[in-house]
Amino acid sequence: MSQDATPLGRVLVVDDERQQRDILLTTLESEGYAAATAANGPQALEALQQGRFDLVLTDLKMPGMNGVVLLQELLRASPDICVILMTAHGAIDTAVDAMKKGAFDYLSKPLDREQLLLVLRRSMERVRLSRENQQLQEQLRERFRIGNIVGESGAMQDVFRVVHKIARSSASVLVYGEGGTGKELIARAIHVESDRAARPFHAFSLAALPESGLDAALLAALEQASGSTLFLDDVAELPKDAQARLLRLLQERQLQRADGEPVSVDARVVAATQKDLEHEVRAGRFREDLFHRLSVIAIVLPPLRQRRTDIAQLAEHFVKKHCGGRQRHVSQEALKLLVAYDWPGNVRQLESVIERALLLAENETIQKDDLPAEIRAGVSGSRGLLGLDIPDSGIDLQAVERSLVLRAIEKAGGNLSRAARLLGLSRRALQTRLETLQAAGEAVLKDAE
């Protein structure tokens, strides 16, 4: 390998036989690897302290510290290092046992050159994938750190302080907030600030699946999230019988697979809802014991209309996110309109408006004419959009609800899922409202999908 060439990988060879070390060193260097050698376990650990290696190729039987003990010491010092054992035929059982302890593979002596090179290529691919995964996890952790979430208002600073205090505990958390306020963002921040951050974050919407498949999906989610964080969105939409099963799982910390095998789970649960769960408990729609189990810590995310001082900073953040590397800005005139608007869709809606405006803007600055009509008109959120007011004679709230439901279903072409999104509801919640209207004698669409 020339001095200017990038090595295929850095390999440490550990063997008490000098001739074997020399043969392997020559072979590896001729194939493009950067290699070094050590005569025993202590020398190998010292070499690892002095330099970085992608993998270690070690003999199993050595005087003093054998290959299995060295494996354990190597993984303790560098958990991501790849270890390959070399063993005589009679010690293959020991090598297999070492693989259970963390070795990547083993090679039988005398070594076959082609087999050696094949295992090295496979191990280097594993190292590459492992490092890419680590980099991705670190990028995600950096992105969702509390310090990187936009929010200088007093209400958001209170939220951040709570997250800092409770992140490293295992206590269940219940996040309240309207749609689009960033409930999952806060759940991810709790995860990356916790001791579980090295494991993937798991998000699961309880309103996204039909009731028939809910149990199996929830069991799978809890098992996958063991040792990590499980975000349960739309928890208020969980049917009553499923609430009882979730409570039992959270209490017992154990689930049973389809084959009957019990599995212990250690998932930290962060639940979220748009509804007032205490009201749902009083109404008999949500179990009180599950409510107390989930809400050891409660976090309330303020709607964007209650944190207007954050709108300018959020708009700038979304401009940078969607500008494609160009220098883009929001004019003062457009910014005044953004701050004055009530944002019924909250931060999610603001991001969508900024992304749209960047596409429509004819120059580097977003002008007021690049904003949607309702924002340019200065209407204040949902009241202005719907044109509703309460006359002195009062209103028929049920008739208003029926009208809105029918209009949403009509606009969605009869598709209940799309109609539910238009109304800011889950599909299951919309179905419940339809059933309530039917029971009250109101005629509603019966052929909706």
CATH number, domain of 370, equals: 1.10.8.60
**Residue whose structure tokens are 């990187």:** 148
Residues 172 and 43 in one domain: no
Burial class (CB in 10 A: 0-12, 13-18, 19+), 241: exposed
Instruction: Check residue 381 and give its pLDDT.
Output: 43
| Cβ contact 137:191 at 8 Å | no
Verify that 321 and 434 share a domain, yes or no: no
Structural domain includes residue 218:
yes
Give bridge partners of residue 36 from the DSSP assignment. 12
CA distance 432 to 407: 17
Could you tell me if 80 and 212 lie in one domain? no
> Residue 439 is encoded by which pair of tokens?
């029971």
Q: Are residues 17 and 30 in the same domain?
A: yes
**Which single residue is written with the structure tokens 């002008």?**
367
CATH of the domain at 232: 3.40.50.300
* Same domain? 311 vs 297: no
Same domain, 15 and 110: yes
CATH no. for residue 47?
Answer: 3.40.50.2300
**CA-CA-CA-CA torsion sign (405, 408, 410, 414):** negative
- Same domain, yes or no: 116 and 151: no
Q: Could you give the angle at which helices 346-360 and 332-340 cross, rounded to 10 degrees?
A: 150
Distances 258 to 136, 212, 216, 220, 252 between C-alpha atoms, Å: 33, 16, 9, 11, 18
CA atoms of 414 and 34, how far apart (whole Å): 65
| Maximum Cα interatomic distance, the chain, rounded to a whole number of Å | 100
DSSP for residue 3 = T
User: At which of 302, 320, 351 does a domain end?
Assistant: 302
Same domain, 361 and 228: no
* 107, 221: one domain: no
Domain annotation covers residue 446: no
| Strand ranges, E, within 88-153 | 105-108
Looking at the 3D structure of the chain, how many domains does it have?
A: 4
Strands (E), 76-128: 82-87, 105-108
Whether the CB-CB separation of 266 and 224 falls below 8 Å is answered with no
Q: What is the number of other CB atoms lying within 10 angstroms of the CB of residue 412? A: 18
Instruction: Kindly state whether residue 445 falls inside one of the protein's structural domains.
Output: no
pLDDT at 383: 43
Is 444 inside a domain boundary?
no
- The pLDDT averaged over each successive group of 10 residues in the chain (449 residues) is 70 93 93 93 91 90 89 87 82 75 86 91 88 68 70 90 93 94 94 90 83 78 90 92 88 74 86 93 95 95 93 94 90 94 92 93 92 79 49 65 80 78 76 75 53
Q: Which of 155, 150, 154, 139 is nearest to 192 (CA)?
A: 139
Say if 177 falls within a structural domain.
Answer: yes
Tokens of 75: 């993984």
Q: Which of 343, 367, 386 is the last residue of a domain?
A: 386
- What's the pTM value of the predicted model, to 2 decimals? 0.61
Same domain, 175 and 269: yes
* CB contact burial 60-75 (16+ within 10 A = b; e otherwise): bbbeebbbbebbbbbb
Distance of CA 370 to the CA centre of its chain: 33
89 and 165 fall within a common domain: no
Q: What is the pLDDT of residue 447?
A: 47
Rounded CA-CA distance 97/92 in Å is 9
Could you give the count of Cα atoms lying within 13 Å of 156 in the half-sphere of its Cβ? 24
Question: With contact defined as beta carbons under 8 Å apart, do 223 and 194 qualify?
Answer: no
User: How does strand 262-264 pair with strand 254-256?
Assistant: antiparallel
Q: Where are the beta strands (DSSP E) in 195-236?
A: 202-205, 229-233
Residue 135 in tokens? 């980099």
CB 303 within 8 Å of CB 341: no
Last residue of a domain, one of 386, 408, 425: 386
Distance CA 85, CA 10 (A): 16
- What residues make up the domain containing 218? 144-302
Domain-embedded: residue 41: yes
**Dihedral sign, Cα of residue 362, residue 364, residue 368, residue 373:** positive
185 in a structural domain: yes
Query: Is 4 domain-assigned?
Result: no
The CATH number that applies at residue 422 is 1.10.10
224 in the same domain as 153:
yes
